[in-house]
Structure 1
Amino acid sequence: MDFTWKVFLQTGNIDTYLLFKEMEKENQEIPGNLNEELANIDFPVS
């Protein structure tokens, strides 16, 4: 993700910025899903 940001800073390419934002969004979604999965393992709903 750092690489994408650096490319955007150097080029100012809007597509690169949009790619960066998409990657940032996906990275923020992953921890929540992982925590939910771990909670379900610890406390399975019957």
Structure 2
Amino acid sequence: MRDFSWKYFAKTGDVDAYLLYREAGDPLEEGGPLLAEEEKALDEEAQ
């Protein structure tokens, strides 16, 4: 679900998809927030 919400956000810019992505968190951290470095890399990837 996390991958889908990110891909949907990247294509559409839909804020709700981004919020769902953030809520899903990092699967390796049991739903915890992403590290700032990882979030920055993903944001750059979306642009």
TM value normalised by structure 2: 0.51
Q: How does 1:11-22 map to 2 (within 5 A)?
A: 11-22=12-23
Structure 1 stretches lacking a partner, 5+ long: 32-46
Counterpart for residue 9 of structure 1: 10
Greater Rg by CA: 1
Counterpart for residue 39 of structure 1: none
Higher helix share: 1
The share of aligned pairs that are identical, in percent, is 41
Counterpart for residue 35 of structure 1: none
Stretches (4+) displaced over 4 A: none
Structure 2 stretches lacking a partner, 5+ long: 32-47
Q: Calculate the aligned-residue CA RMSD, in Å.
A: 2.1
Q: How far off is 1:12 after superposition? A: 0.2
